[in-house]
């Protein structure tokens, strides 16, 4: 009697990885993508970014407390201990307080983190929310082998199965400069969740703590299908640029926040030779490159 072998689900071969940040970089300026994802050039540490990391850490820890204990005093009380924990991990920017002999600059900076947390409490009541996940890595490999991955600040799942994706924004850049990027990032997460859970998230919610504003968006399946095609197109363009080394500068208002003007032809600079010298780290994708961004991602 012959037996028929069970089909085996083989994992799709991964041809490359995209994070929302790097995909958005390439979309806004291919040369910026190159500097960050290929050359991996260092960028100036920023106290704003560091404060974002701290506030994200406090909110993540706050939701680990019993619901009744998630109060503003509790959140404010987490700021100093979590800052100590962060300092020990030496995140970029921690050295910026090295010359702060009397500690006043650091005290003012910690106070500004507490102010952002106070703003958070004007937008949500955390005692009424039970997140399904916090600081969650979400990833999927699409048909064709492109892996999408990123970290979601918070996922709320209703008893009916409806999903809400929540992202905290603490940055100081003007809204118009990064709002489109934020929505791009949220659609990215929505697509990954749809492809992994089979449910289109009901709501994408951005909480702008500095402005005390919430932006909510309801994605549609057809829109996410189009977005998936956009990501494939971005990856195809990245793959071609990696093979040819042709990463063009695309000047825009974002140049004001770019750390690499000195190497950018749009500002009279010359990029380093391409491809860069191998640093021995394993990379994936055509030519090379494609490793995910460091964690935690720089908050915006």
Give residues in contact with ligand SF4 (CB under 6 A).
29, 31-32, 249-251, 254-255, 258, 260-261, 264, 266-267
Q: Is the Cβ–Cβ distance between 286 and 243 less than 8 Å?
A: yes
Neighbours of 110 (CB within 10 A): 17
Minimum distance from CB of 73 to ligand SF4 (Å)? 42
Residue closer to ligand SF4 by CB (options 127, 252) is: 252
Minimum distance from CB of 98 to ligand SF4 (Å)? 28
Cα separation, 252 vs 229, in Å, equals: 25
Minimum distance from CB of 105 to ligand SF4 (Å)? 29
Cα separation, 71 vs 226, in Å, equals: 41
List residues bridging with 155 in a β-sheet.
133, 165
Minimum distance from CB of 163 to ligand SF4 (Å)? 34
Minimum distance from CB of 177 to ligand SF4 (Å)? 11
Cα separation, 228 vs 217, in Å, equals: 18
Residue closer to ligand SF4 by CB (options 77, 265) is: 265
Q: In sequence order, which residues have a C-beta less than 8 Å from that of residue 98 and are 6 or more positions away?
A: none
Query: Helix H segments across 36-168?
Result: 47-62, 72-89, 104-123
Residue closer to ligand SF4 by CB (options 23, 29) is: 29
Cα separation, 41 vs 276, in Å, equals: 11
Sort strands 16-18 and 146-157 into parallel, antiparallel or unpaired.
parallel
Residue closer to ligand SF4 by CB (options 261, 291) is: 261
Residue closer to ligand SF4 by CB (options 213, 259) is: 259
């Amino acid at each position: 009697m012959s037996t028929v072998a069970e089909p085996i689900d083989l994992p799709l071969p991964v041809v490359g990885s995209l994070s929302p940040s790097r995909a958005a970089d390439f979309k806004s300026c291919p040369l910026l993508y190159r500097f960050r994802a290929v050359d991996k050039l260092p960028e100036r540490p920023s106290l704003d970014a560091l404060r974002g990391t701290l506030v994200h850490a406090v909110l993540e820890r706050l939701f680990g407390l019993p619901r009744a204990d998630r109060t503003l005093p509790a959140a404010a009380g987490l700021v100093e201990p979590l800052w100590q924990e962060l300092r020990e991990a030496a995140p970029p920017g921690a050295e910026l307080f090295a010359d702060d002999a009397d500690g006043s600059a650091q005290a003012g900076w910690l106070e500004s983190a507490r102010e952002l947390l106070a703003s958070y409490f004007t937008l949500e009541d955390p005692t009424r929310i039970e997140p399904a996940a916090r600081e969650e890595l979400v990833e999927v490999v699409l048909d064709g082998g492109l892996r999408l991955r990123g970290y979601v600040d918070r996922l709320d799942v209703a008893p009916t199965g409806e999903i809400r994706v929540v992202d905290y924004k603490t940055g100081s850049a003007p809204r118009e400069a990064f709002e489109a990027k934020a929505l791009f990032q949220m659609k990215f997460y929505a697509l990954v969740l749809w492809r992994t859970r089979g449910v289109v998230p009901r709501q994408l919610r951005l909480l702008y703590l500095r402005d005390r504003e919430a932006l909510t968006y309801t994605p549609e399946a057809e829109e996410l299908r189009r977005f998936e095609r956009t990501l494939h197109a971005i990856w195809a363009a990245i793959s071609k640029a990696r093979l040819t080394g042709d990463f063009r500068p695309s000047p825009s208002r974002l140049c004001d926040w770019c750390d690499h003007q000195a190497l950018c032809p749009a500002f009279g600079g010359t990029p380093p030779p391409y491809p860069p010298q191998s640093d021995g780290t394993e990379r994936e994708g055509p030519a090379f490159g494609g490793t995910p961004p460091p964690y935690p991602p720089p908050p915006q």
